[in-house]
């Protein structure tokens, strides 16, 4: 929330009063961080990872589900194909038991059915077919089920660990995106400052050549200069004007690029606070480069480390497929028609509880090979981390050398600038005294232009090297 507020204030300041109020590097960084699409994507990914972590926690808790449906059957269910005739029994006091009521002949023997050879009952109980026919053409059913995992081989814990590491990875990726944005802002910012300085330099060079052009023109009228001298100065003056135009166009494009990175309209005219002079700040010192601290701060290495933890959790998830799984469940089911008390055309149901145990026995090594594949992926990620740490170490060393080289270059360009200024002063004086020609003065002016341009480049180079060294050591944007 604090960063968003800073971005809103900085954007409003840049849009409303950028032409009058200089915009600092910190303001540009805040505007870019608050508006950059890559950072906003990374923030959404962090939110998504957080939701997945919450979803994984829910697996520890019982789940409640409802299932319902309707079925239409073309036919009714008839348990009898025709009326059923069942033999009856009577109590015999002599035997104190029940005997079938059998039709007997005159000889007292049971009469047998000629087709079946079975005795013919003298009495039967009739069950009509209609009594055993049930209307199941329209069936409604439903069930509320509660399932509580008890032990799933450690898969729930592994999934929670995967979700936790996934969120950490998303945050590291977000931090990496923030540093990339800050780096791009700094490069665009100092590019504008550099071109603004070079525009002033180009204007100064145009003024120098124009002054020489006026002097040579006056000398031509007095007869102490030739037409060739005038033409040489005129060509140099035109070249200086072309150079000024190119620098001015480049500066306009650089301002557009900076405005786009900051999330402002490209036609926003921002005046930067460092345009008045890009002198070195007193805190331009080499940051801490203790490699263990660098490894701990680097966001890209953090992503790889979290990836190792995530793959280790995937190993545990693969291992859980080879372990027993136990869960308890309870349900309340109902249907219409129901058979709780005979066959009734109304809703009825009841509760049921139980437990389910699954024990993997033999899968032809499929689950074990998945486990071994997960272990190999973890080992590969560890090797990747070692390789990246070696590259980061080389990267930091190169950045340190570049930073030191930039300081040495700046010192030499300062000396060259002093010599070029003195040489230009002497050449202009000697030209007035008639000792040197216009070519000598033009050469001195060109040398002064080159020395001044190199001095500006060295100053900007130190700034960019410092920013890059902060980035490779993981300290860029630590206060944002």
Give residue 9's pLDDT: 46
Q: Is residue 147 part of a domain?
A: no
Give residue 228's pLDDT: 87
Q: Is residue 204 part of a domain?
A: yes
Here the tokens at position 271 are 């005046």
Q: Is residue 220 part of a domain?
A: yes
90 and 226 assigned to the same domain: no
Give residue 57's pLDDT: 93
164 and 123 assigned to the same domain: no
Helix axes 37-57, 25-35, angle to 10 degrees: 50
120 and 171 assigned to the same domain: no
Q: DSSP class of residue 36?
A: -
Q: Which helix (H) or strand (E) holds 183?
A: helix 155-222
Q: Is residue 95 part of a domain?
A: yes
Helix (H, G, I), strand (E, B) or coil at 26: helix
- Structural domain count of the chain: 2
Q: Is residue 152 part of a domain?
A: no
Tell me the pLDDT of the chain (480 aa) as tens digits.
444 444 444 444 444 444 458 899 999 999 999 988 889 999 999 999 999 999 999 999 999 999 999 999 888 888 878 888 888 888 878 888 887 878 877 877 887 877 877 888 878 888 888 878 888 889 899 999 999 999 999 999 999 999 999 999 999 999 999 999 999 999 999 999 999 999 999 999 999 999 988 888 888 888 777 888 889 889 999 999 999 999 999 999 999 999 999 989 998 888 898 887 666 655 567 766 789 999 999 999 999 999 999 999 999 999 999 999 999 999 999 998 888 887 888 898 889 999 999 999 999 999 999 999 999 999 999 999 999 999 999 999 999 999 999 999 999 999 999 999 999 999 989 988 888 888 889 999 999 999 999 999 999 999 999 999 999 999 887 776
Between CA 167 and CA 236 the distance in angstroms is: 62
**Tokens 């330099």 correspond to what residue?**
201
Strand partners of residue 112: 119
Give residue 75's pLDDT: 85
Give residue 278's pLDDT: 62
162 and 119 assigned to the same domain: no
Q: Is residue 113 part of a domain?
A: yes
Strand partners of residue 63: 147
Domain with residue 423: its CATH number is 1.20.1600.10
389 and 274 assigned to the same domain: yes
Here the tokens at position 374 are 């997960």
Quick one: how far is CA 8 from the chain centroid? 24
- Report whether 192 contacts 269 (CB < 8 A): no
296 and 195 assigned to the same domain: yes
Give residue 52's pLDDT: 94
Give residue 18's pLDDT: 45
Give residue 107's pLDDT: 77
Give residue 480's pLDDT: 66
- Report whether 413 contacts 454 (CB < 8 A): yes
239 and 93 assigned to the same domain: no
Quote helix, strand, coil % in the chain, to nearest 5. 60, 15, 25
117 and 164 assigned to the same domain: no
26 and 114 assigned to the same domain: no
45-62 residues labelled b (16+ CB within 10 A) or e (exposed): bbeebeebbeebeeeeee
Q: Is residue 427 part of a domain?
A: yes
Supply the range of the domain harboring residue 445: 2-35+158-323+361-472
105 and 208 assigned to the same domain: no
Which is nearest to 140 in space by CA: 68, 66, 67, 70? 70
Between CA 270 and CA 21 the distance in angstroms is: 8
Residues 6+ apart with CB under 8 A from 280: 410, 459, 462
Q: DSSP class of residue 24?
A: P
Q: Is 336 exposed, middle or buried (0-12, 13-18, 19+ CB in 10 A)?
A: middle
C-alpha dist (Å) from residue 197 to 25, 192, 268: 16, 9, 20
Residues 6+ apart with CB under 8 A from 107: none
Phi-psi region of 364 (alpha: psi -120 to 50; beta: other; left: phi over 0): left
Between CA 197 and CA 275 the distance in angstroms is: 7
113 and 257 assigned to the same domain: no
Between CA 317 and CA 148 the distance in angstroms is: 19
284 and 365 assigned to the same domain: yes
Q: Is residue 165 part of a domain?
A: yes
C-alpha dist (Å) from residue 322 to 309, 363, 419: 21, 9, 80
């Amino acid at each position: 929330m604090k960063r968003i507020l800073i971005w809103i204030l900085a954007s409003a300041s840049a849009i409303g009063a950028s032409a009058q109020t200089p915009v600092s590097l910190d303001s540009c960084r805040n505007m870019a961080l608050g508006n950059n699409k890559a950072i906003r994507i990374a923030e959404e990914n962090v939110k998504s990872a957080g939701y997945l972590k919450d979803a994984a926690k829910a697996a520890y808790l019982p789940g409640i589900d409802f299932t319902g449906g309707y079925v239409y059957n073309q036919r009714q269910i008839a348990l009898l194909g025709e009326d059923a005739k069942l033999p009856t029994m009577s109590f015999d006091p002599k035997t104190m038991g029940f005997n079938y009521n059998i039709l007997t002949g005159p000889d007292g023997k049971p009469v047998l059915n000629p087709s079946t050879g079975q005795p013919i009952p003298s009495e039967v109980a009739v069950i009509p077919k209609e009594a055993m026919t049930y209307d199941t053409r329209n069936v409604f059913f439903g069930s509320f089920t509660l399932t509580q995992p008890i032990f799933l081989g450690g898969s729930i814990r592994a999934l929670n660990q995967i979700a936790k590491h996934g969120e950490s990875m998303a945050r590291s990726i977000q931090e990496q995106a923030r540093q990339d944005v800050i780096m791009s802002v700094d490069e665009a910012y100092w590019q504008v400052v550099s071109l603004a300085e070079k525009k002033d330099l180009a204007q100064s060079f145009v003024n120098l050549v124009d002054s020489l052009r006026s002097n040579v023109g006056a000398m031509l009228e007095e007869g102490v200069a030739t037409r060739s001298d005038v033409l040489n100065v005129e060509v140099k003056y035109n070249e200086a004007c072309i150079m000024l135009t190119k620098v001015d166009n480049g500066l306009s494009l650089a301002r557009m690029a900076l405005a786009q990175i900051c999330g402002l309209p490209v036609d926003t005219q921002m005046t930067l606070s460092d345009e008045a002079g890009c002198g070195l700040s007193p805190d331009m010192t080499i940051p801490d480069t203790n490699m263990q601290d660098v490894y701990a701060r680097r966001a890209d290495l953090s992503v790889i480390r979290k990836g190792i933890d995530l793959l280790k959790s995937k190993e545990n998830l693969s291992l859980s497929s080879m372990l027993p799984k136990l869960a308890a469940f309870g349900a309340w089911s109902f249907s219409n028609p129901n058979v709780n008390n005979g066959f009734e055309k109304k809703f009825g149901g009841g509760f049921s509880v139980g437990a389910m145990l699954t024990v993997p026995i033999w899968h032809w090594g499929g689950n074990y090979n998945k486990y071994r594949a997960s272990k190999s992926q973890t080992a590969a990620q560890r090797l990747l981390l070692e390789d990246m740490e070696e590259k980061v170490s080389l990267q930091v060393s190169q950045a340190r050398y570049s930073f030191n080289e930039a300081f040495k270059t700046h010192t030499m360009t300062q000396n060259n600038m002093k010599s070029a200024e003195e040489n230009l002063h002497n050449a202009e004086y000697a030209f007035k005294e008639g000792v040197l020609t216009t070519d000598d003065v033009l050469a001195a002016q060109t040398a002064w232009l080159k020395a001044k341009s190199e001095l500006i480049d060295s100053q900007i180079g130190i700034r960019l090297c410092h920013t890059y060294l902060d980035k490779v050591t993981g300290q860029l944007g630590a206060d944002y």
